[in-house]
Structure formats: structure tokens, C-alpha cells
Amino acid sequence: MEISYHGHSVVKIMTDTHTILIDPFITGNGQTDLDAAKEKVDVILVTHGHNDHLGDTVDLAKRNNATVIATFELANYVESFGINVHAMGIGGSYDFEFGTVKFTQAFHSSSFTTEDGEIIYGGMPAGVLFTSEGKTIYHAGDTALFGDMKLIGERNNIDVAFLPIGDNFTMGPEDAAYAVQLLKPQIVVPVHYNTFPPIKQDPQIFKNLVETAEVQVLSAGDYVQWIRD
């Protein structure tokens, strides 16, 4: 399995058989190295409905005939465009041919604004646990620190965690560093920072605060470097 980071909260997972994108905010993302018109993808996981996470989901799914996996309300909206979807609920898991997906809670909000200016509610925000080929990845989505991260860490052997550090809308570096203690991942990658002025952060501050995991500060296009097989 190969995992790469592509700016903001965009993560790509490549298994032996599938390419999976999480929160594919590409168009309008000044931090990404991806070209939405050229990207090939089989599966798209969306944590919540904000425009900087739903992003290019509809266009990518249409062009690639990809399946979108999201919480119920958001999946229903995406399905209205004639896209293949799999709707899920928080706390539920499902075994797909490419791996197991489980949505966790996240403390945030979820809505998006259409081109006409209409605000649409996107259901509950979520994090994602993805397990495949012997690896477990936790993408927290946008969230505040919450105590049940301890349960997530106790019940899952997390290899890589992607945690927001931008503050203002999500956890900041201090809370995210405490989340690492609760989640107990082997590797942690900071995300959701420096894309917009309100979430400007120095990821080295986060790295210096973390003592229980290896912090990999990635630039767009960088791959996670495994520390265990």
C-alpha cells in the first residue's frame, strides 16, 4: 500500500487493486499538486460536506465512474448526480473488495454552498478508519479534540493518523498533539493547515509537541514512509 498527501486534507491511498482519494479538494486548493482533470480514482471517501473537503468529488466520480462513500445525507446528495454511492452511518463499518471502511464521529459541522449560493446540510461530519492489506489508516476529517479518541486508539491498531492542526475551525497543534496520545498511531501526519489565513500554522510546533509517535510533515505529493511492516 502507498499513501500520499496532496495538500489541505487530501490523501491518496493506492492498494494493489484500487486508488482511493479522501476529501479531494483540488480545484481552488493552492496547496495541492494534483490536476482534477487528469486524476484517476476508483473510490472517493468524503468526511463531510464543506466545500474544502467535498471539493471535486462529483466531477471526479463522473469522469472515472468512481464510487463515493460518505455519510447518508451527503451520499444521497452526490447520488442525485447519477453517481455510484455507498451511504454509511457513523459507527458502522463495511467490507469492500479493496478494504474495510468505518466512519467515526467528528466534532465539527457539515454543509456546503452550491454555485447558486444555496446552503445544503451535509449530515453529520465524520472521521474515517480505513483498513486494507494489513494497515489501518485514520483520517480524522475536521474535528475538535474529543475524549472518545481514546476508544478509537484502544480498539484499533492505527498505523497512520492524519490529524488537522489548523486551529480556528479544528484542533490546533496543542490539542492535536494530545489527540496523538489518545489515538496511539505509529505515524502521524498533520493536515488542514496553511491553506487559508485563518488556519496558518507552523507544523514544526506540532511535531515538537508529539512524543509518542513519529511525525511526518509532508509536502504535497510526498509519500508516507513506513516504519513497520
229, pLDDT greater than 80: no
Contact 50, 74 (CB under 8 A): no
34, pLDDT greater than 80: yes
Q: What is the pLDDT of residue 97?
A: 97
9, pLDDT greater than 70: yes
pTM of the model: 0.96
The angle at the Cα of 36, spanning 197 to 173, to the nearest 5 degrees, equals: 30
Average pLDDT over residues 166-192: 98
Average pLDDT of the chain? 96
Please tell me the CATH code under which domain 2-215 is placed.
3.60.15.10
The angle at the Cα of 7, spanning 26 to 56, to the nearest 5 degrees, equals: 15
17 CB neighbour count, 10 Å cutoff: 11
3, pLDDT greater than 70: yes
Give 47: exposed, middle or buried? Use CB within 10 Å, 0-12, 13-18, 19+.
buried
